[in-house]
């Protein structure tokens, strides 16, 4: 069998959108020394492909980071096979909060140098000496303590649509930048309670260990991240200190946690927290767009892209030939095209 997908992504997306099969969106991670990442990757692909698993998984010598969806009827079998891998036995599975089953359209398992790009030299500190893991009850208690500083360890486009009340949300594009900002912000406050959180917990594992390494005394991290917190506050009926949406890195682009809309459309400024990617294949900019602007700009980020997708396909291919889109994320107030039409 081929150990990668060979079907056109556009066909797979359409198949995913029209499928009636019930699926469960799951994320999990584990830091563990993998001797042969490529061999483990191939083994995992064979196992998951036969179960109809879709999603994106990163494998590295330091462990695994997975965001997937599993057919509901195969969920029990999936857990059995996953837990049969000794170092993944009983690994915590974060089940999506607001799930329509349309999170992924193909299975992609990649071998990388790291499961999260952090820019750290892991040999320089003990990555297993992470912060104290706290559940929703303990998180709320710490959040109410005036001696606590809460830091959102996610990127700006994530915290823009949802975050914890009172949290510091650095205006950064990458986790690597986030670590430096957190270190600089807390440099003179090493005796404070440092309470960190992210989507599912993986970024805080490394971040909290690093902050302890450089001298911070009281480091805490939200166990299971926002996903687990949302489940716990619902199950236990306790106060919810998170407002808005939890951004997720799949086709959904967000899980609704509360009805609060704390962001605005990047084109007209109306209250909106729906992320989208520009329809122009030569752009694919990630930004927030309301329904009215989606109609006005034909699901594009600007007049330039709207005009581009109206061109013949061959001409569009010529225009985007050789272009490296890189990380196309809208940075508020710093875009050549977006917002200019309405400002």
Catalytic residues: 198
Helices 175-186 & 202-213 angle (0-180, nearest 10)? 40
Q: What are phi and psi of 314, to 5 degrees?
A: -65, -40
Q: With b meaning 16 or more CB within 10 Å and e meaning fewer, what string describes 230-267?
A: bbbbeeeeeebbbbbbbbbebbbbbbbbeeebebbbbb
Residue found by looking up tokens 């581009």 in the block: 308
CB 274 within 8 A of CB 258: no
Q: Transcribe 191-232 into DSSP letters.
A: TSEEEEE-SSSHHHHHHHHHHHHTT-SEEEEETTHHHHHHHH
- Residue whose C-alpha is closest to residue 300's, from 286, 313, 314, 317: 286
- Taking the CA of residue 331 as centre, how many other CA atoms within 13 Å lie in the half-sphere pointing to its CB? 10
CB 306 within 8 A of CB 282: no
Distance of CA 32 to the CA centre of its chain: 21
Q: What angle do CA 181, 200, 169 make, to 5 degrees?
A: 30
């Amino acid at each position: 069998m081929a150990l990668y997908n060979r079907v056109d992504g556009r066909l797979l997306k359409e198949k995913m959108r029209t499928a009636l099969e019930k699926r469960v969106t799951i994320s999990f991670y584990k830091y563990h020394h993998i001797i042969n990442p490529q061999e483990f990757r191939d083994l995992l692909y064979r196992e998951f492909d036969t179960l109809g698993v879709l999603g994106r998984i990163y494998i590295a010598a330091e462990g695994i980071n997975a965001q997937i969806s599993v057919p509901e009827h195969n969920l029990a079998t999936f857990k059995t096979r996953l837990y049969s891998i000794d170092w993944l036995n009983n690994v915590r599975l974060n089940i999506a909060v607001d799930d329509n089953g349309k999170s992924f359209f193909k299975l992609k398992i990649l071998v990388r140098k790291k499961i999260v790009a952090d820019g750290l030299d892991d040999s320089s500190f003990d990555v297993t000496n992470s912060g104290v893991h706290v559940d929703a009850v303990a998180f709320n208690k710490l959040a109410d303590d005036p001696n606590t500083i809460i830091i959102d360890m996610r990127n700006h486009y994530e915290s823009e649509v949802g975050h914890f009340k009172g949290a510091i949300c650095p205006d950064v594009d990458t986790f690597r930048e986030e670590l430096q900002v957190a270190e600089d912000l807390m440099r003179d406050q090493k005796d404070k309670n440092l309470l960190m959180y992210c989507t599912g917990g993986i970024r805080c594992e490394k971040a909290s260990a690093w902050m302890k390494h450089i001298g911070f005394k009281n480091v805490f991290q939200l166990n299971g991240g926002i996903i687990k917190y949302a489940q716990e506050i619902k199950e236990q009926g306790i106060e919810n200190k998170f407002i808005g949406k939890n951004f997720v890195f799949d086709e959904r682009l967000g899980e609704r946690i509360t009805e609060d809309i704390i962001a605005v459309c990047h084109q007209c400024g109306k209250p909106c927290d729906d992320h989208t990617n520009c329809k122009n294949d030569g752009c694919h900019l990630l930004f927030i767009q309301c329904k009215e602007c989606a109609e006005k700009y034909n699901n594009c980020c600007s007049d330039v892209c709207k005009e581009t997708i109206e061109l013949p396909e061959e001409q569009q291919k010529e225009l985007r030939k050789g272009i490296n889109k890189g990380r196309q994320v809208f940075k508020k107030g710093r875009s050549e095209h977006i917002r200019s039409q309405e400002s």
